[in-house]
Amino acid sequence: MKASSKVDDLAARLAAASTAPLVSPPQVETRAPKAKPQGGTVQVTLRPSRDLLATYVGKAADRSKEEGRTVTAQEIMIEVLAREQA
Protein backbone atom coordinates (compact mmCIF):
# COMPACT_ATOMS: atom_id res chain seq x y z
CA MET A 1 0.00 0.00 0.00
CA LYS A 2 1.29 3.44 -0.95
CA ALA A 3 1.76 5.95 1.90
CA SER A 4 -0.09 9.22 1.55
CA SER A 5 2.04 12.34 1.27
CA LYS A 6 -0.28 14.29 3.56
CA VAL A 7 -0.12 11.93 6.56
CA ASP A 8 2.40 14.08 8.43
CA ASP A 9 0.26 17.17 7.90
CA LEU A 10 -2.84 15.32 9.09
CA ALA A 11 -1.02 14.03 12.18
CA ALA A 12 0.12 17.54 13.08
CA ARG A 13 -3.38 18.98 12.70
CA LEU A 14 -4.91 16.19 14.81
CA ALA A 15 -2.31 16.72 17.54
CA ALA A 16 -3.00 20.46 17.60
CA ALA A 17 -6.76 19.91 17.66
CA SER A 18 -6.53 17.45 20.55
CA THR A 19 -5.06 20.13 22.84
CA ALA A 20 -7.40 22.95 21.78
CA PRO A 21 -10.70 23.39 23.65
CA LEU A 22 -13.80 22.23 21.77
CA VAL A 23 -15.86 25.20 22.86
CA SER A 24 -14.55 28.59 23.83
CA PRO A 25 -15.48 29.52 27.41
CA PRO A 26 -18.45 31.89 27.64
CA GLN A 27 -17.74 35.51 28.36
CA VAL A 28 -19.22 36.48 31.68
CA GLU A 29 -20.87 39.87 31.64
CA THR A 30 -20.60 41.86 34.81
CA ARG A 31 -23.86 43.60 35.56
CA ALA A 32 -24.42 46.45 37.90
CA PRO A 33 -26.22 45.33 41.05
CA LYS A 34 -29.97 45.84 41.04
CA ALA A 35 -31.12 48.99 42.71
CA LYS A 36 -32.99 48.30 45.92
CA PRO A 37 -36.48 49.79 46.11
CA GLN A 38 -36.81 52.98 48.09
CA GLY A 39 -38.92 53.14 51.21
CA GLY A 40 -37.80 49.93 52.84
CA THR A 41 -40.34 47.69 51.13
CA VAL A 42 -40.25 43.92 51.52
CA GLN A 43 -41.73 41.12 49.49
CA VAL A 44 -44.64 39.18 50.98
CA THR A 45 -46.93 36.47 49.68
CA LEU A 46 -50.65 36.72 50.30
CA ARG A 47 -53.22 33.95 49.81
CA PRO A 48 -56.63 35.64 49.84
CA SER A 49 -59.83 33.68 49.35
CA ARG A 50 -61.15 33.55 45.80
CA ASP A 51 -64.05 35.86 46.65
CA LEU A 52 -61.79 38.46 48.27
CA LEU A 53 -59.35 38.34 45.35
CA ALA A 54 -62.23 38.72 42.88
CA THR A 55 -63.36 41.81 44.77
CA TYR A 56 -59.90 43.36 44.62
CA VAL A 57 -59.50 42.45 40.94
CA GLY A 58 -62.84 44.15 40.18
CA LYS A 59 -61.80 47.29 42.06
CA ALA A 60 -58.44 47.27 40.27
CA ALA A 61 -60.14 46.95 36.88
CA ASP A 62 -62.41 49.91 37.66
CA ARG A 63 -59.47 52.02 38.85
CA SER A 64 -57.45 51.04 35.75
CA LYS A 65 -60.24 52.38 33.52
CA GLU A 66 -60.46 55.61 35.53
CA GLU A 67 -56.73 56.31 35.62
CA GLY A 68 -55.84 55.03 32.15
CA ARG A 69 -53.06 52.84 33.52
CA THR A 70 -52.84 49.35 34.93
CA VAL A 71 -53.70 49.17 38.60
CA THR A 72 -53.15 45.77 40.20
CA ALA A 73 -55.16 44.03 42.85
CA GLN A 74 -52.05 44.11 45.02
CA GLU A 75 -52.00 47.92 44.88
CA ILE A 76 -55.62 48.02 46.05
CA MET A 77 -54.80 45.59 48.89
CA ILE A 78 -51.88 47.76 50.04
CA GLU A 79 -54.07 50.89 49.99
CA VAL A 80 -56.74 49.16 52.10
CA LEU A 81 -54.14 47.96 54.60
CA ALA A 82 -52.53 51.41 54.77
CA ARG A 83 -55.93 53.05 55.44
CA GLU A 84 -56.62 50.60 58.27
CA GLN A 85 -53.24 51.32 59.83
CA ALA A 86 -53.71 55.12 59.77
The 10s digit of each residue's pLDDT in 11-31 is 888 888 888 777 877 888 888
Q: At CA 55, angle to CA 79 and CA 75, rounded to 5?
A: 25
What does the alpha-carbon distance between residue 24 and residue 32 come to, in Å, rounded to a whole number? Answer: 25
pTM: 0.53
Q: At CA 74, angle to CA 76 and CA 83, rounded to 5?
A: 40
CA distances 70 to 6, 49, 55, 67, 73, Å, are 71, 22, 16, 8, 10
pLDDT reported for residue 5: 67
